[in-house]
Amino acid sequence: MIYLQLFISFFKIGLFGFGGGLAILSLIQMEVESHGWMTPQEFVDIVAVSQVTPGPIGINCATYVGYTVGGIWGSVLSTFAIVLPSLIIMLSICKAYFWFTKRFKGNPYFEQTLRMLRFTVIGLIASAALMLIKPTTFIDPVSWIIFGAVCFFTVLPQVYKNKVTEILSHPILLILLAGLAGLVVYQS
Amino acid sequence: MFFQLFWTYLKIGTFTLGGGYAMLPLIQREVVDRKGWIDEEEFLNMIALAQAAPGLIAVNSAIFIGWRIGGWRGVCGAVLGAVLPSFLIILAIAMVFQDWKEIPAVEAAFKGIRPAVVALIAAPLVKLAKSAKIGWITALIPIAAALLIWLGHVNPVWVIFTTILLTLIVVKLKIKN
């Protein structure tokens, strides 16, 4: 039963996951929270691990959630389920590649849908961030200082671009620094 | 072809940090510049399709390139190569993570990391909004979507589904007039 639920959840995530990794986060979060598979805190932890390990975030989350819920077979099944819709859809596109590019390039229905989805995806990513602002993840004012600092360094290269700001905006470096800050502040 | 594609994607999958988008330039260098399996124009078409289709961009691109170069075997090789490194790494971490979290130092570090992760999700929004050329009216779409999911607890799947349906209806009405 748990395997069937895992399969359905991650198949759904793969099927409706438009816009890449960050946009998929809100779908994964909704699934794991509604099934009670993970707390928001655990979910943030796995996103953190995903940011510092190689590979697509969607695969990382599927593997991790699958393992914690259903062991090794759970992780194999979840990872397979998130990839399966891609296989079906992309292979159909490939098989009809020339037909597809001729038919859909410049097609108003197709182009407008893609344009609108880009706007929706921005909302999806915003909701993923908003849903993670909880008392368990933002425990005190220091949390907000870290949040503000990471936002600042991530956006900085867009305003003031040079080698230093570029290096400082690297997500892995920022996570390591935040972990160091956590060690200094919270280690008693 | 299976092994060549498997090996190429395995290398890319093992050494790119930062998710699917970060993989694209490496895939281009390997598949277009070095191996010459497909040309630049087709590669750009592939990126457009991989982004337009649902699912993970890295996996979508692996399927496309695998199919164009090696048919079914190519697809199996490329997808396995793209997925296997992160699968194995995360599986290993998942096996030990529950115990590690008991260590006070690890828990302290994660207390600092959690708000940073939320910031890393939120901060790219500025860039995304800019590149989508968002205006005052179109900004209502992401705001409505975020509020529906965040406060209304609406499943994002429905938000995406509604976006597609509404757009199709609006375009249809516009064409009619």
pLDDT, tens only, A80-105? 999 999 999 988 888 887 777 777 77
CA separation for the pair B120, A153 (Å, rounded): 10
Residue in B87, B145, B161 nearest the CB of A59? B87
CB–CB contacts below 8 A, A to B: 357
Clarify whether residues A104 and A174 are in a common domain.
no
Residues A114 and A169 in one domain: no
CA quadruple B69, B64, B125, A44: dihedral positive or negative?
A: negative
Phi, psi for residue B132 in degrees, rounded to 5: -85, 0
Alpha helices in A17-107 (DSSP H): 21-34, 40-52, 57-95, 97-104
Q: Which of B60, B98, B157 sits opposite A90 (nearest CB)?
A: B60
Q: Is there a contact between A81 and B83 (Cβ–Cβ < 8 Å)?
A: no
How many domains are contained in chain A?
Answer: 2
Alpha-carbon gap: A140 to the closest alpha carbon of chain B (Å): 10
pLDDT recorded at residue A141: 95
- Domain range annotation of chain B: 2-100, 134-176
pLDDT of residue A126: 93
> Do A71 and A96 sit in the same domain of this protein?
yes
**A40, A12: one domain:** yes
Assign B20 a pLDDT band (cuts: 50, 70, 90).
low
Instruction: Answer yes or no: do A37 and A112 share one domain.
Output: yes
Quick check: A91 and B67 in contact, CB under 8 A? yes
Same domain, A112 and A144: no
Range of A45's domain?
2-131
Encoded tokens for B46: 């592939």
Judgement on whether residues A98 and A6 belong to the same structural domain of the protein: yes
- Angle among Cα A177, A158, B114 to the nearest 5 degrees reads 30
Which residues from chain A sit within 8 angstroms of residue B87, using beta carbons? 55, 59, 63, 75, 79
Calpha distance B170→B165 (Å, rounded): 9
**pLDDT for B56-68, tens place per residue?**
888 998 999 999 8
Report the percent of chain A where pLDDT is more than 70.
99
- The answer to whether residues A143 and A113 belong to one domain is no
The SS3 of residue B115 is: helix
Residues A39 and A63 in one domain: yes
User: pLDDT at residue A37 above 70?
Assistant: yes
Q: Using the beta-carbon criterion (under 8 Å), do B125 and A18 form an inter-chain contact?
A: no
Write the pLDDT tens digit of every residue in B101-146.
889 999 999 999 999 999 988 988 888 888 888 888 889 999 999 9
Closest residue, chain B, to A74 (C-alpha): B91
Whole-model pTM: value is: 0.86
Residue B119: which of A181, A132, A55 has the closest Cα? A132
A122 and A144 belong to one structural domain: no
Contact A80, B79 (CB under 8 A): no
> Which helix (H) or strand (E) is B86 found in, with range?
helix B57-100
A61 and A123 share a domain?
yes
Q: Is there a single domain that holds both residue A145 and residue A119?
A: no
Closest CB to A150: pick one of B85, B116, B174: B116
For residue A146, the chain B residues in CB contact (below 8 A) are 112, 115-116, 119
Q: Which residues contact A119 (CB under 8 A, 6 or more apart)?
A: B132, B134, B138, B141, B142, B145, B163
Which residue in the set A18, A138, A171 is minimally distant from B120, CB to CB? A171
CA distance linking residue A95 with residue B63, whole number of Å? 11
Q: What is the pLDDT of residue B21?
A: 67
Q: Is the ipTM of this complex over 0.95?
A: no
Q: Which residue of B has its CA nearest to A88?
A: B63
